[in-house]
Amino acid sequence: MRFVMFCHSLVSDWNHGNAHFLRGICSELVARGHEVAVYEPRRGWSRANLEAAHGRRPVEGFARAYPELQSTPYDRATLDLDAVLDGADVVLVHEWNEPALVRRIGLHRRDGGRYRLLFHDTHHRAVTDEKSMAAYDLAHYDGALACGDVIRDLYRSKGWARDAWTWHEAADVRRFHPRPEVARTGDLVWVGNWGDDARVAELDEFLLGPVRDLGLKALVYGVRYPDPAIDRLSGAGIEYGGWIANYKVPLVFARHRVTVHLPHRPHVEALRGVPTIRMFEALACGIPLVSAPWHDTEALFTPGRDFLVANDGTAMRHHLRDVLGDREFADSLAQHGLATVLARHTCAHRVDELFAILAQLDPGDSSISAGRLVA
C-alpha cells in the first residue's frame, strides 16, 4: 500500500515531539513493505530553529539514523496535490499543518481522490484552544486519529469529523531499547523542554528541589530554556545539555539510573489518560521512572509497578531515594515497565491499530488485513 503523510517535520525534532512517533510509524510501515511518502513545509518553524542553532549537522544525522526514511520539502504555492497523491491508498494529515492545507487536501479527496483520508491529532489544543481546532475543515476526511479518549470524544461530540478513534503515541523500539552494555555514570536525567514560566513551580518541586536536597548527579536536555532557567538548573547542581537529537536519547537513558516524567499542566488537567511520548520511550529503554502527578485514566500502565507516582516534592525525594538506593527494586520497576511497553505500546501495535481502523472503513479488503502483524 502507498501511504502519504503531511506533517510539520519528520527531519526536525527541535521542540517538535510529534516527530518521534511519526518516525516510528513510518519506519514500521516501511519494514512491512509499504511505500511511505512524507511531505513537510520547506521553511517549517521547527527545522528553521534547528538549523539556525546547529546548522546542517542534525539533518545529516537524521539521514544516518533513519536511512529508510525521507521527507520531501514543499512550497505551499507550488504543491501539486494531483502528483503527490497519485496512487495513494492512505493519506495521514497531522494537526500541525495550516488549516488551508488541511482543507485543500480534503477538497482533493472530495473531487475524486481514491484514498482513505485521516486527520491525526496529538496535541492538547482540542481541549485548551477549541476555536483553533474548530477552524480545521475535515468535512471530506474519513475521520480523526486522536491521542487519547478525551480528544476522541471531543471530535465526536463537537462534530468536527465524521468519526474519531483513539490512537495513542508509542515507542519506536527499533531505537528505544535497553543498552545494558553502557556504564551508568550519572544518577538522574530528564529530557524535556522549558516551554514557558508556567512550569517553574512544578520543576522546583519535582526536579530542582529533590536533586539539590539528595545531592544527585543530574543532567537535563531540552530547548527554549532562557538564561534564568539555566541559572536555576545550575543552582540546583544540574548540568544543562541543551538540545539533543531524539535518536541519541536511549544512550543517555542508559548512562543514568533514573528519569522523571514531568508533564505540562494541560496533560495533567485537560488530557487525563494521555502521557507524553517520553514516558513510552523511557520505559522502552528500561530505565526506572518516577512521575509527577498524572492520571492514567485509560489504564495504559500499572502505576506503582511500571513506574512510581510522586504526588508532591516530598514523595519525589522518597521515591528517588528508594530507586537509587535499592538496585533490585529499581531493576524490578524497569523490567515491569519495559514488559508493558513491549506488550502494548510499540509503534508496531499502533500500526496494527491503524490497519484495524482502515479495515472498519473498507471491510473485506485483503490488502488491509495483510498489513497487520500483531494478533
Do 193 and 320 reside in the same domain of the chain? yes
| Residue 374 forms part of a structural domain | no
pLDDT in tens, 203-250: 999 999 999 999 999 999 999 999 999 999 999 999 999 999 999 999
Q: Which CATH number fits the domain that encloses residue 267?
A: 3.40.50.2000
pLDDT score at 375: 40
| Structural domain range at position 299 | 186-344
CB 141 within 8 A of CB 166: no
Do 134 and 84 reside in the same domain of the chain? yes
pLDDT in tens, 48-66: 999 999 999 999 999 999 9
Q: Could you tell me the three cell numbers for 32?
A: 512491512
E strands, 181-292, are: 186-191, 218-221, 238-242, 256-261, 289-291
pLDDT score at 369: 65
| Residue 264 forms part of a structural domain | yes
| Structural domains in the chain (count) | 2
- CA-to-CA distance for 226 and 268, rounded, in angstroms? 24
- CA-to-CA distance for 284 and 279, rounded, in angstroms? 8
| Residue 302 forms part of a structural domain | yes
| Residue 180 forms part of a structural domain | no
Q: How far is CA 253 from CA 51, 78, 217, 233, 257, in A?
A: 25, 43, 14, 19, 8
| Residue (of 265, 285, 286) closest to 276 by Cα position | 265
| Residue 176 forms part of a structural domain | no
Beta bridge partners of residue 71, listed in sequence order: 38
| Residue (of 276, 290, 316) closest to 192 by Cα position | 276
| Residue 352 forms part of a structural domain | yes
- CA-to-CA distance for 284 and 324, rounded, in angstroms? 19
Do 166 and 222 reside in the same domain of the chain? no
Do 275 and 334 reside in the same domain of the chain? yes
- CA-to-CA distance for 6 and 94, rounded, in angstroms? 6
pTM: 0.95
| Residue 178 forms part of a structural domain | no
Do 361 and 217 reside in the same domain of the chain? no
Q: In what order do the strands lie in the sheet with 35-41?
A: 71-74, 35-41, 2-6, 90-94, 116-121, 143-146, 164-166
- CA-to-CA distance for 118 and 5, rounded, in angstroms? 10
Q: Three-state SS string across 66-126, please?
A: CCCCCEEEECHHHCCHHHHCCCCCEEEEECCCCHHHHHHHHHHHHCCCCCEEEEEECCCHH
Do 332 and 356 reside in the same domain of the chain? no
pLDDT score at 178: 98
Q: What angle do CA 27, 32, 38 make, to 5 degrees?
A: 40
Do 130 and 226 reside in the same domain of the chain? no
Identity at 299, one-letter amino acid code = A
Do 273 and 365 reside in the same domain of the chain? no
- CA-to-CA distance for 302 and 341, rounded, in angstroms? 11
pLDDT score at 360: 96
Q: In what order do the strands lie in the sheet with 238-242?
A: 238-242, 218-221, 186-191, 256-261, 289-291, 308-309
Do 26 and 87 reside in the same domain of the chain? yes
Regions of the chain with pLDDT less than 50: 374-375
Do 57 and 204 reside in the same domain of the chain? no
Do 127 and 226 reside in the same domain of the chain? no
- CA-to-CA distance for 138 and 140, rounded, in angstroms? 6
pLDDT score at 370: 63
pLDDT in tens, 145-156: 999 999 999 999
Do 212 and 304 reside in the same domain of the chain? yes
| Residue 33 forms part of a structural domain | yes
